[in-house]
Amino acid sequence: MKRRLGTRWAGLVLALALAGVSGCARQRVLTVPDAEARLRADIEEILDNPAFASGHWGVVIQSLRDGHYLMRRNPHKAFMPASNLKLFTTATALARLGPDFRYVTRLFRTGPVVDGVLHGDLVIRGVGDPSITGRYHEGDPLAVFRGWVDSLKSRGVRRIAGRIVGDDNWFEEEILGTGWSWDYESDWYAAQISALSFNDNCVDIVYTPGPVPGSPVKYELIPNTRYVEIDFRVVTVRPGLEKEITYQRKRAANLVRIDGSLPAGGESRRDWFSVENPTRFAAVVFREVLEASGIQVDGNAWDIDDLPDYTYPDSCPVATYTSPTMAEICTAINKVSQNLYAELVLRTLGKQFRDVGSAAKGIEVVKEFVSEIGIDPQELVMVDGSGLSRYNYVTPNSIVTLLRVMRRHPVGRYFYDSLPIAGVDGTLKRRMQGTPAEGNVRAKTGYIENARALSGYVTTADGEELAFSLIVNNYTVPTSLANDAQDLICQRLASFSR
């Protein structure tokens, strides 16, 4: 089966090379209608490949020079967009909140400081900031907490005669998105949602395989915390026999079973797994940082939801942390397809413009924005901010409309710059290398099981900019073939000449 698919695909690649991607000089003698007809025929041949007999494609390609469509297939049909939904979340955030919007997270004390002793609790009030993580602090996830420790020490605090409390009540209690699969829960891409988020609500783990088969695999947790308990079953094996590392976190707990194998003598590798209750996770790790720095903490770390009727004054902040800009956060969302950040931004929209930090209220703001720019809200069925749910549906036509409008929007340059560049960075770093699309295509990828999407911008050989959306649902072949099809189309568009 694989050999037949490979042969069929190789033939198609060769045909395109002869007819289109490498044949720009020959195309230039055609009339414009003939050139476009040839382009459509080449793309149709890719889409009609028997490998996708069980699937269906949605394709819209539009010129941003004059607005006419070079191709449309199922433009108004509903498709699961996967992470292409992030285009709507980030576009709305940039337009409504502004590219310079920043989160401010505050640390409060609930009592006085007397002779170096804080007589009360320390409360971390989360407001949805995704940036308390190593991504924005030179790889050090504890940088913000260490800064807070320095602030406390500058005030002479040597002991906390109270507790560390994490306050996540800025958002509603929605720890997972609607329709998220239960078997995602241990993985980093489905990390729980909290207004108080730390280290992407995950623990990093660095593995170092042994020198010979059967020797122990060493591991290091970052942060090195007691918050999780590890049942470690990863072994060193002969190269070529290694198996994928998997995580199973016990439901509503932080006991994590890790299975798999690594090749003997191999290099260290880094991975991530999610935690239960990110709010308490942040409080526990902050307490650990305090104690490691020499500040004694008498009480335990708590999630505010586990302290009935708990209130505290907000008149005594002892430290603050200000996030990077929304433009920088949206770049992380789109470049690496960061689901948690998209969910936090969606709820921030709800809190800022509807006074309720929920997905539903955030979606109201997104739909209001897309309606204003000419997209029929009926063509956007949205239940989360990241696209991880299979309950999301959008039309290729709506995606291209969004792309077209954002290219000329006052905040459009931030949106454009947030997208992965083919062959260069983000989720497109290893795709389309060595082709006319490399360094040219800027597009958002999307993947959930049997759904693959790629939407963005490409400039033709004539310097004409196009917006495109390529989505396939319900295919049963390896996703690499869907990638190949999308990449071939992008190469054809990058080489297109009238």
Here the CATH number for the domain that contains residue 380 is 3.40.710.10
Neighbours of 13 (CB within 10 A): 16
Domain end call among 280, 304, 322: 322
Do residue 306 and residue 352 come from a single domain? no
Residues contacting 160, CB < 8 A, separation 6+: 117, 118, 121, 122, 290, 295, 296, 297, 298, 299
Do residue 233 and residue 374 come from a single domain? no
CA atoms within 13 A on the CB side of 303: 15
What total of structural domains would you count in the chain? Answer: 2
> What pLDDT was estimated at residue 395?
98
Q: Is 103 exposed, middle or buried (0-12, 13-18, 19+ CB in 10 A)?
A: buried
Residue type, 384: D
Do residue 257 and residue 137 come from a single domain? yes
SS3 217: coil
Domain end call among 287, 322, 357: 322
For 299, the domain range is 104-322
CA 263/CA 211 separation, integer angstroms: 9
Does the structure show a pLDDT above 80 at 457?
Answer: yes
Neighbours of 494 (CB within 10 A): 23
Do residue 193 and residue 315 come from a single domain? yes
Do residue 302 and residue 357 come from a single domain? no
Q: How confident is the model at residue 314 (pLDDT cuts 50, 70, 90)?
A: confident
Q: How confident is the model at residue 315 (pLDDT cuts 50, 70, 90)?
A: confident
Predicted TM-score (pTM) of this structure: 0.94
Does the structure show a pLDDT above 90 at 333?
Answer: yes
Q: How confident is the model at residue 362 (pLDDT cuts 50, 70, 90)?
A: very high
Does the structure show a pLDDT above 70 at 24?
Answer: no
Q: At 360, phi and psi to the nearest 5?
A: -60, -45
Do residue 317 and residue 353 come from a single domain? no
End-to-end CA distance of the chain: 39
Do residue 412 and residue 477 come from a single domain? yes
Does the structure show a pLDDT above 60 at 25?
Answer: no
Residues contacting 62, CB < 8 A, separation 6+: 68, 69, 70, 400, 404, 466, 467, 468
Task: Find the mean pLDDT for residues 274-298.
Answer: 98
The tokens describing 363, both together, are 């979606």
Which residues carry out catalysis? 83, 86, 337
Q: Which of 288, 299, 276 is nearest to 122 (CA)?
A: 299
CA 62/CA 49 separation, integer angstroms: 23
> What pLDDT was estimated at residue 118?
98
